[in-house]
Amino acid sequence: MQAAETVTFGGLGGLDRAAWLRGDETRQRILRTSPTSRVLPVWRGRPLIAGESRDDLGLLPVDHPALRDAGLWLFLGQIDERAIFAAEMSGFQPTGVDAAAEVAFFDPGEQSHPDLPGDLRFTELRGVMTGLSPLEAEIAATARGLFEWHRSHAFCARCGQPSEPAVSGWQRNCTACGSSHFPRTDPVAIMLVTRGDHLLLGRSRGWPPGMYSLLAGFIEPGETLEAAVRREVFEEAGIRVGRVSYLASQPWPFPASLMLGCHGEALSEEIDIDPEELEHALWISREEMVEVLAGRHAVVKGARRGAIAHFLMQAWVADSLD
């Protein structure tokens, strides 16, 4: 796909990750105090978002009073040689947080910090990702993914003892056995499965009413991308897939996936779902998908804008997969 990198988080941001600076402790100390450096505060995976239109990151100077609540700092890279950090706001305890909403499919709530203006709020990234510039989307996705990795990998996978952040947040070291651990990304195949002029959609239990998307599943050890596509589609929907081609990829930090978008050509059309995987699946025509993407379909609601599923659906409707 010629437009593959235009998907949200798709790689055109231009962040210089400056990996050579991560282990330079002297240089990191200088950057942590530089007046040109900027910091993205993140609270429970939610980046600080600025402006009433919610389309800018809330990047702060390194000496901002709000950062006294910060725990772990990450060095994300540079923009025009200006250092960009992310800070996990572990000491910030807002009031009125809806615990049930936090574990729902999507939580629209926002949190304000007492040391920040009211138009700066911690916001669920999925709700604002399409409004951010490619650069800011890359920064936010990198920060969210790294913080989630640190949260879920606080203990050594080899000996079980606590591990500690190192190399500006890009490594964790175990002081008990000496093992080093590095951020992980889980590869996921997401499949645009077609048969003639129809597209296969499915929905999982717990999704919002009417929401359907492309089928997807984790790639297993020892498995190729193409084999994963064929296996997942057959396991979930009973559909046999023949030719498979790669289309585009998307980092998806919810919590730590790399979505690998593929086109699969179905060899069969009778659907036999696995109820443990899907609540329902259906074939939908290209004409109907136009209505789905426009929000006018009577039954089906499409994938969220910004997700690679929505991106691939649009490309299929426009006949621009090549």
Mark whether 53 and 122 lie in a shared domain.
Answer: yes
Mark whether 106 and 207 lie in a shared domain.
Answer: no
Instruction: Look at residue 308 and tell me if it is in a domain.
Output: yes
Mark whether 201 and 249 lie in a shared domain.
Answer: yes
Instruction: Look at residue 6 and tell me if it is in a domain.
Output: no
Instruction: Look at residue 80 and tell me if it is in a domain.
Output: yes
Cα–Cα distance, 192 to 202 (Å, whole number)? 11
Residue type, 48: L
Per-residue pLDDT of the chain (322 residues; tens, 9 = 90+): 667 778 999 867 889 999 999 999 999 999 999 999 999 999 999 999 998 777 899 999 999 999 998 999 999 999 999 999 999 998 999 876 766 555 555 678 899 999 999 899 999 999 999 999 999 999 999 999 999 999 999 999 999 999 999 999 999 999 999 999 999 999 999 999 999 999 999 999 999 999 999 999 999 999 999 999 999 999 999 999 999 999 999 999 999 999 999 999 999 999 999 999 999 999 999 999 999 999 999 999 999 999 999 999 999 999 988 8
Name the domain count of the chain.
3
Instruction: Look at residue 128 and tell me if it is in a domain.
Output: yes
Instruction: Look at residue 8 and tell me if it is in a domain.
Output: no
pLDDT score at 102:
55
Mark whether 221 and 269 lie in a shared domain.
Answer: yes
C-alpha distances out from residue 97 to 2, 10, 122, 123, 273, Å: 43, 32, 12, 13, 38
Mark whether 143 and 117 lie in a shared domain.
Answer: yes
Mark whether 208 and 286 lie in a shared domain.
Answer: yes
Mark whether 240 and 283 lie in a shared domain.
Answer: yes
What angle, 0 to 180 degrees and rounded to 10, lies between the N-to-C axes of helices 286-293 and 308-317?
130
Name the phi and psi angles at 66, rounded to 5.
-60, -25
**Those residues with Cβ within 8 angstroms of residue 39's Cβ, 6 or more apart along the chain or in another chain:** 59, 60, 61, 62, 64, 67, 70, 73, 84, 85, 86, 87
Mark whether 143 and 159 lie in a shared domain.
Answer: no
Tokens standing for residue 250: 């998307």
Mark whether 168 and 206 lie in a shared domain.
Answer: no
C-alpha distances out from residue 281 to 172, 173, 218, 273, 293, Å: 42, 45, 19, 7, 18
CATH number of the structural domain spanning residue 194: 3.90.79.10
Per residue in 108-141, pLDDT (tens digit) is 889 999 999 989 999 999 999 999 999 999 999 9
pLDDT score at 259:
97
Q: Which of 133, 153, 173 is the last residue before a domain boundary? A: 153
Cα 10 from chain centre: 10
Instruction: Look at residue 5 and tell me if it is in a domain.
Output: no
Q: Is 50 helix (H, G, I), strand (E, B) or coil?
A: strand
pLDDT score at 99:
61
Mark whether 25 and 40 lie in a shared domain.
Answer: yes
pLDDT score at 123:
95
Cα–Cα distance, 6 to 13 (Å, whole number)? 10
Q: What is the maximum span of the chain, computed from C-alpha positions, in angstroms?
A: 63
| Residues in a beta bridge with 200 | 283
Please count the residues of the chain: 322
Which helix (H) or strand (E) segment holds residue 139: the answer is: helix 134-152
Query: pTM of the full predicted structure?
Result: 0.92
Mark whether 94 and 214 lie in a shared domain.
Answer: no
Mark whether 104 and 132 lie in a shared domain.
Answer: yes
Instruction: Look at residue 51 and tell me if it is in a domain.
Output: yes
- Domain extent, residue 248, equals 186-318
Instruction: Look at residue 266 and tell me if it is in a domain.
Output: yes
Cα–Cα distance, 250 to 264 (Å, whole number)? 18
Name the phi and psi angles at 145, rounded to 5.
-65, -40
State how beta strands 111-112 and 120-122 pair.
antiparallel
